[in-house]
Each structure stands twice: as C-alpha cells, then as structure tokens.
C-alpha cells in the first residue's frame, strides 16, 4: 500500500529528474547551437583572439606563353624549412623493415644538412642561436627556397619538429629565350622588367588565407578551419614563336660577335597582321640569373633604341613620289656622285661615278643619295612630311613597352637647306625599329598599315579572354603605289652588289639597306662609326613576312653589308618555319638607267 509520504517522495524525484533533464536539454541545445548552427560565427570570434592562427594561401602568378602556348615564364612552388627549438629531442623512428630505431638530434642534423646543403653543425647552430635569444623559442628558420624534391626528402625523414611553408616562385624554362621581352622578377616577387612589369595586372595573383584554431600540441582543431581561396593570375599569350625566337637569338649573337659590333637585333613581323613573330636581341638577359647580365642588357634594344635610318628611308620617299608626285619606277633624274644644290646644300653618294641618268628604281638599286635628293624636289616638303607621318615615323610604336622612345621627325618649317635633302635619304631624322618595320609592313601589305602587336590576349583565371585594344588600320599609299615599291625593292635584292649574299633559294625577296651615322652627343657625327640596318620582305610578289636586322657599330664590315648574312639566314628560317610556299613567278626586272 502506497502511503502519502511515499507518493510525496516520488513526486519530488520526478520533479528533480525533470529539472535535471530540462537543464541537460538546455545544454544540448546550446551545444548544438555553438557547434553546428552558429559554428562559423564562433570560429570567427575565436580566430580573432589569441587562440586563432592563420597562414596564407598563395595564388599562382600567371604564365607567359608564346603563340603556340609554349611556356616562356611560369611559376613553381618552393619551400621554406624551419625548426621548433622547444621540441628538438631524440626520437624513435620506424625503419623500412618495420623495426624501430633511436635517432639522436646530432644524427638528424646531419641527415637534414645532406639535403639542404648544410653541415650538421650549421643545422644545430640554427637551433642554438634561436634558444640563446629565447629559451622558449618555437621558431628557427632553417633554409629558404627548397625545391619540391628537397621538401619531399626532408618530409620523409619523419622529424616532428621540422616544418615547412610553401610559396610560389618564378621560373623561365628556356632561360634567355625572349628574356629581353619577358622581363624578370625581384627576389621579393615584384615585377621589375619587360612584360612581367608591363602586364602585371594580367599576371598578378591574389593570395587567400587559411584560418584555424590549434590545440596545445600545435595540431589544428577539427572543424575550425576557415578558407579564403586564392585567385590565380591570368595567362599572357604573346604573338612571338618561341622556336623562331631561339634560332634568331643564336643567329644575331653570332653575327654581332663576328662583325665586332656592340649589339644587334632581328625583328620579324607578319605583313598581313602586324604581329611580331620574333624580336631577338644580343646581348640579352636570362631572367633566371639577372645579375649575370649587364644592367644595359636587361631590356629590349628593339624597343628602346632610336637611330638614324639612313637609306632605308629611300623606299618611303619613293612611295611618296609615286603616290603624290606622279612619278613611276622608270622616271629619271641625272645625278653625279657629288652635287651642290641651288640652296647651297651639298650631297654625295658613297661611291664615285659619273653623271648617270638614273631611274627611280636605279636610285634605290645603287642607293644614290644625290639621285633621291633630286627626285625629292618634285614634291613639297609638307607632302614628304605628311607621308612620313602616315608611315608612322616619329609617332612611336603602337606597342606600349617601358622605356620606348619615339623617332624624331622635324616639321617642315624647321628644315634647313641641308635637311631638306638629307631627310629624303634618312639623315637628320631618327626612328625606332618598331616605327621602321611598321612602315615596311605597310609597303609589304599593299599600302595598308596595321598596328604592330606583341600581345595576343590575357586569359583570366575564370576563363575570361581579354584582347588588347588595337588602333585602326590606315591606307598609307594606294595599293598600286605599294606594289611599285615592292618591285623596286625586289630589284634592289636582284641587282645590288649584295644580291648574291641575300638570295634565298626558291623565293623572290625584296630588301633595302641603311647605314646611319651616329652622333657624339654634341651634335656632331662620329667618324667611321655607323648603325647599320637591312630590312625587307618575302616573297616579293606576295609579301608574307618583314625581317629587319640591325647592328650597332660593326667594325669588321662597317657598312650594312655586315647585316647581309644574318638577314639571309633569318629570312630563310622564317619562310621555313611558317611553311611559306616558294615563288612561282619570275621577278619583274627594272632598268637602272633611263
């Protein structure tokens, strides 16, 4: 029989149990809220306190690739190793056969040093120095910039107080190939030259982070990691061909040295697109070892040099005469090797000859300064200036490259009696390689000038493709004018004294040389010192590629004949590389004399 006191006791027990269960339920609800519902919020709060830790997640800098996608600059992971001095001790390690072995700190220091290139004493000294500063030190940097192979070898040692941080680094697989264009990076990861610097907005990455909580033993507490992903840089695709670039760099290095020149360049432009397919410099820079090169050799002379173009201007003057002056390749003038003009100017040719009745074609073939000067009188100075501007002289290149100058083309109101004639054959005016090859691209492309380009695109990490803005094309001269100049330049290649040296088997080629004088910095020309150029295109009847070779102060041959061998080899390789079909038509022979 249940008594009143018994029932009362049971009631109290039930009530107490209910209270306990209610409290427990409250704890459970709160625990679920903390651990599940509001977990991220509480983790974020804890990470903001001393309990939280974080490390960067490095984005990968974008690659620079050639027109075929071959890598010119890429990124790799390097590793920084550090020790925890507070945990340095002898350890028990399992061997490959499953047995255990005791390993002393001295022995481990030796194993580490064999991989990092340090002695056991040097490794131990790292720990000793850290402890001397702080007896409780948990961090002592051991070695920076370890390769993946070194990292794996160290990790395989199973040393619990050896840690690693990874970070990206730049690598250039082909060394100096296109180094003059690609540029280089500083040890702090800052872009310092070339396209690395110019196109940094495309290539640069954005680092992310990994935040987490660690226990006393340094182990990350599960469920506390919060990741902010990194964003990789974009891929910069150039218009150049890596293999052609490599060949032409070897070629211009050989020619520069053979001719005893200070430097040399070879530039290749696709005539119908304006795309630069190669831009070779010597001397140049290996971005993997920048300090091994002279600071003056770390840029691209193609984009930072300006020079007097010499006789390479004569085809531009001839194009003006035909397009605006009613002249033809068979129009004539009488010209001696040296003449004085009514305004007092004096002009001379590079060789002695009697008074010839030169055709316009003959003036280009013999490269007569006197002849082109007399022809130049048949159009106004303003007309000549306007056409040179339309060809792009003095306006700079469409390619935005650090340090790039513009040529110097004085306005007609500042032409004196001498420069009135000299400008017709490329003296008293300066240009740059991009300006000059851009002008010849227009001649080769039937008078249509297309802005030069070096960059094909930037492909962002999300797949977005960004094309660079291109300027508008312009018709500089009539197509028939350009064709007439093409034929005259073809006859230069056929009838000039350098014809045997520049012939390309199976192809009709067109070219022109220029021997530009150099100033001493005080407005006077240096004696016997020249900047030589050879520029032309092929096939002459349907030009596909423009090739320009320059040498700065060649000494073995001081005229532009120094460039002939390199030009012939360069053009041969270009036609082969792009599988241009051989010529199937006979060249049109033009008379030198009237």
Q: How many Cβ atoms from other residues are within 10 Å of residue 416's Cβ? A: 12
Which range of 29-43, 106-120, 163-177 scores highest in mean pLDDT? It is 106-120
Distance separating alpha carbons of residues 527 and 519, to the nearest angstrom:
9
Predicted confidence (pLDDT) per residue in 406-437, tens digit: 999 999 999 999 999 999 999 999 999 999 99
Distance separating alpha carbons of residues 285 and 298, to the nearest angstrom:
5
Mean pLDDT of 106-112: 94
Instruction: Tell how far CA 339 is from the center of its chain.
Output: 47
Distance separating alpha carbons of residues 524 and 518, to the nearest angstrom:
8
Distance separating alpha carbons of residues 492 and 362, to the nearest angstrom:
8
For residue 245, what pLDDT band results from cuts at 50, 70 and 90? very high
pLDDT of residue 220: 61
Residue 17 has pLDDT above 90, yes or no: no
Phi-psi region of 579 (alpha: psi -120 to 50; beta: other; left: phi over 0): left
Residue 46 has pLDDT above 90, yes or no: no
Q: Rounded to whole angstroms, what are the CA distances from 18 to 14, 15, 240?
A: 6, 5, 81
Q: Rounded to whole angstroms, what are the CA distances from 416 to 324, 371, 380, 413?
A: 23, 19, 14, 8
pLDDT of residue 302: 96
Residue 586 has pLDDT above 80, yes or no: yes
pLDDT of residue 43: 47
Mean pLDDT of 236-248: 98
Residue 457 has pLDDT above 70, yes or no: yes
Q: Distance between the two ends of the chain, CA-based, in angstroms?
A: 147
Mean pLDDT of 80-101: 88
pLDDT of residue 50: 44
Tokens 């460039």, residue? 563
pLDDT of residue 349: 97
**β-pair type (91-94, 346-348):** unpaired
Please list the residues that pair with 348 across neighbouring strands: 338
Distance separating alpha carbons of residues 388 and 390, to the nearest angstrom:
5
Lowest pLDDT segment from 48-52, 93-97, 314-318:
48-52
Mean pLDDT of 435-455: 97
Q: Which of 546, 527, 354 is nearest to 444 (CA)?
A: 546
Q: What is the pTM of this model?
A: 0.83
Which range of 95-99, 143-147, 318-322 scores highest in mean pLDDT? It is 318-322
Q: Which of 491, 480, 451, 486 is nearest to 467 (CA)?
A: 451
Which range of 213-217, 298-302, 386-390 scores highest in mean pLDDT? It is 386-390
pLDDT of residue 47: 45
Q: Are 310 and 425 within 8 A, CB to CB?
A: yes
Q: Which of 298, 295, 271, 277 is nearest to 286 (CA)?
A: 298
Predicted confidence (pLDDT) per residue in 163-195, tens digit: 888 877 899 999 999 999 999 998 778 899 999
Sorted by sequence, the CB contacts under 8 Å of residue 423 that are 6+ apart come out as 313, 384, 388, 410, 415, 429
Q: Are 227 and 44 within 8 A, CB to CB?
A: no
Task: State the average pLDDT for the chain.
Answer: 90
pLDDT-above-70 percentage for the chain: 89
pLDDT of residue 207: 82
The DSSP code for 557 is S
pLDDT of residue 226: 78
Distance separating alpha carbons of residues 539 and 259, to the nearest angstrom:
28
Predicted confidence (pLDDT) per residue in 504-519, tens digit: 999 999 999 999 999 8
Distance separating alpha carbons of residues 280 and 303, to the nearest angstrom:
11
For residue 38, what pLDDT band results from cuts at 50, 70 and 90? low
pLDDT of residue 20: 65
pLDDT of residue 37: 55
Lowest pLDDT segment from 285-289, 376-380, 516-520:
516-520
DSSP helix/strand/coil, 417: coil
Burial of 20 (0-12, 13-18, 19+ CB in 10 A): exposed
Q: Are 271 and 544 within 8 A, CB to CB?
A: yes
């Amino acid at each position: 029989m249940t008594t009143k006191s018994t029932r009362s006791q049971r009631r109290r027990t039930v009530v107490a149990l209910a209270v306990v269960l209610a409290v427990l339920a409250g704890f459970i609800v709160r625990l679920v809220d903390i651990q599940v519902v509001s977990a991220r919020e509480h983790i974020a709060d804890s990470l903001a306190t001393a309990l939280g830790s974080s490390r960067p997640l490095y984005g990968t800098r974008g690659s620079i690739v050639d027109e075929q996608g071959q890598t010119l600059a890429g990124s790799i992971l390097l590793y920084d190793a550090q020790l925890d001095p507070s945990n340095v001790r002898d350890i028990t390690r399992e061997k490959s056969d499953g047995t255990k072995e005791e390993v002393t700190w001295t022995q481990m220091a030796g194993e580490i040093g064999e991989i990092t290139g340090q002695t056991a004493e040097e490794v131990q000294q790292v720990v000793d120095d850290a402890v001397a500063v702080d007896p409780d030190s948990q961090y002592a940097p051991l070695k920076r910039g370890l390769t993946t192979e070194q990292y794996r070898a160290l990790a395989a040692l199973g040393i619990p107080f050896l840690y690693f941080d990874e970070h990206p680094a730049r690598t250039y697989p082909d060394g100096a190939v296109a180094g003059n264009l690609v540029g280089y990076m500083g040890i702090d990861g800052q872009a310092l030259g070339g396209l690395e610097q110019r196109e940094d907005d495309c290539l640069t990455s954005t680092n992310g982070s990994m935040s987490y909580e660690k226990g006393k033993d340094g182990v990350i507490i599960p469920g506390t990691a919060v990741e902010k992903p990194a964003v990789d840089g974009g891929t910069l695709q150039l218009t150049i061909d890596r293999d052609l670039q490599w060949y032409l760099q070897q070629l211009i290095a050989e020619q520069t040295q053979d001719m005893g020149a200070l430097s040399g360049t070879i530039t290749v432009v696709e005539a119908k697109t304006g795309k630069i397919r190669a831009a070779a410099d010597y001397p140049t820079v290996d971005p993997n070892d920048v300090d091994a090169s002279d600071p003056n050799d770390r840029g691209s002379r193609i984009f930072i040099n300006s020079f007097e173009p010499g006789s390479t201007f004569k085809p531009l003057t001839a194009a003006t005469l035909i397009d605006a002056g009613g002249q033809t390749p068979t129009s004539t003038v009488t010209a001696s090797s040296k003449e004085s003009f009514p305004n007092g100017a004096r002009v001379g040719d590079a060789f002695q000859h009697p008074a010839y009745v030169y055709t316009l074609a003959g003036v280009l073939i013999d490269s007569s300064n006197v002849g082109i000067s007399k022809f130049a009188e048949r159009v106004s100075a303003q007309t000549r200036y306007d056409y040179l501007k339309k060809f792009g002289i003095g306006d700079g290149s469409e390619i935005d490259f650090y340090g790039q100058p513009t040529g110097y083309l004085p306005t007609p109101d500042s032409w004196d009696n001498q420069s009135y004639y000299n400008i017709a054959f490329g003296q008293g005016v300066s240009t740059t390689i991009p300006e000059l090859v851009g002008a010849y691209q227009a001649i080769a492309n039937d008078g249509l000038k297309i802005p030069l380009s070096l960059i094909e695109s930037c492909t962002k990490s999300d797949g977005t493709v960004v094309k660079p803005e291109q300027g508008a094309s312009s018709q500089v001269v009539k197509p028939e004018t350009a064709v007439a100049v093409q034929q005259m330049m073809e006859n230069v290649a056929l009838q000039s004294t350098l014809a045997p040296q520049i012939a390309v088997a199976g192809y009709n080629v067109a070219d022109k040389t220029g021997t530009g004088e150099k100033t001493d910095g005080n407005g006077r020309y240096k004696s016997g010192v020249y900047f030589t150029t050879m520029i032309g295109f092929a096939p002459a009847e349907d030009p596909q590629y423009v090739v320009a070779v320059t040498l700065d102060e060649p000494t073995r041959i001081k005229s532009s004949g120094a460039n002939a061998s390199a030009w012939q080899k360069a053009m041969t390789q270009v036609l082969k590389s792009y599988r241009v079909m051989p010529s199937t038509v006979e060249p049109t022979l033009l008379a030198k004399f009237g």
